[in-house]
Amino acid sequence: MGRDKLERDDIVKVSTEEQRQEILKLCTEYEEWMYEAGAAKSEFETKLKALQDLLGPMEERAIELEARADIPEAVEEEIAAIKDMKKHIAKNMSWVSSNKTDAAAEKLAEFESWWAKKQEQQKTLPLHEAPAYTKQEVMSAISKVKKEWDKLKKMKKPKETKPKKEFTVLISVLVFFSHWHSSSQCADKL
């Protein structure tokens, strides 16, 4: 189980020789133990779990190393799409309040700052250590920012408010009486 995996290139990249040797040593011990008579199932499960606990993080780092390869490009594309939305809103959607766009812009700036720090941290980390970020973590964070801008872009323009019918009737009546009153004063002078 462990020996075959330890020889894979992706596992070699994300582990040290010492880490692999520790697993190989356990594999040998467990192999010898398995040939001994009277091994209990619970003891086997305990030993298997110990081996998986050592190998599991290596496999996770290998999977994440491959998954992270396309993240910078994907993030750049998402940021560009968000900035296009920002321009569209500023140019064509005057009804969206600046408070809302400023808040969304702040979230984008916070993400960009966080992302720059995570990339710098990752550059300094050896591959055999836990990564500074995971693909899922980054994509989730940029997705939240994009949703904020999507909400703003989907805001409908408020409908023009028309005066209420009763108000219009009242104005018409006042205009009528105003004209009537003016014409009756003119008639009195004649």
Q: Which amino acid is at 20?
A: R
Q: Does any domain span residue 158?
A: no
Structure tokens at 174: 């006042």
Q: Are residues 82 and 98 in the same domain?
A: yes
**Looking at the chain, how many residues does it have?**
190
Q: Does any domain span residue 186?
A: no
Q: Are residues 125 and 54 in the same domain?
A: no
The single-letter DSSP state of residue 132 is S
Q: Are residues 77 and 51 in the same domain?
A: no
**Residue 149 reports pLDDT greater than 90:** yes
**Residue 185 reports pLDDT greater than 50:** yes
Q: Does any domain span residue 75?
A: yes
Q: What's the pLDDT score for residue 183?
A: 60
Q: What's the pLDDT score for residue 159?
A: 84
Phi, psi dihedral angles at 14 (to 5 degrees) = -105, 20
Q: By C-alpha distance, which of 110, 107, 89 is closest to 98?
A: 89
Give the whole-angstrom CA distance, residue 127 versus residue 97: 46
Boundary of a domain, candidates 49, 67, 85: 67
Domains of the chain: total: 2
Q: What's the pLDDT score for residue 190?
A: 47
Q: Does any domain span residue 52?
A: yes
Q: Are residues 86 and 49 in the same domain?
A: no
Q: Does any domain span residue 180?
A: no
Q: Are residues 121 and 83 in the same domain?
A: yes
Q: What is the mean pLDDT of residues 131-142?
A: 96
Phi, psi dihedral angles at 94 (to 5 degrees) = -65, -20
Q: Are residues 50 and 86 in the same domain?
A: no
Instruction: Enumerate helices (H) and strands (E) in the chain, giving the number of each.
Output: 8, 0
Q: Are residues 144 and 76 in the same domain?
A: yes
Residue 124 in 3-state DSSP? helix
Q: Are residues 85 and 53 in the same domain?
A: no
Q: What is the mean pLDDT of residues 119-136?
A: 94
Angle at 166 between CA 165 and CA 170, to 5 degrees: 115
**Residue 174 reports pLDDT greater than 80:** no
Q: Which structural domain range is residue 20 located in?
A: 2-67
Q: Does any domain span residue 146?
A: yes
Q: Does any domain span residue 56?
A: yes
Q: Does any domain span residue 121?
A: yes
Q: Are residues 79 and 119 in the same domain?
A: yes
pTM over cut 0.75: no
Of the listed ranges 41-45, 75-79, 104-108, 110-114, the least confidently predicted one is: 41-45
Q: Are residues 77 and 115 in the same domain?
A: yes
Find where tokens 């500074």 sit: 132
- Tell me the per-residue pLDDT of 48-72, one tens digit each, with 9 for 90 and over: 898 889 888 999 999 999 989 999 9
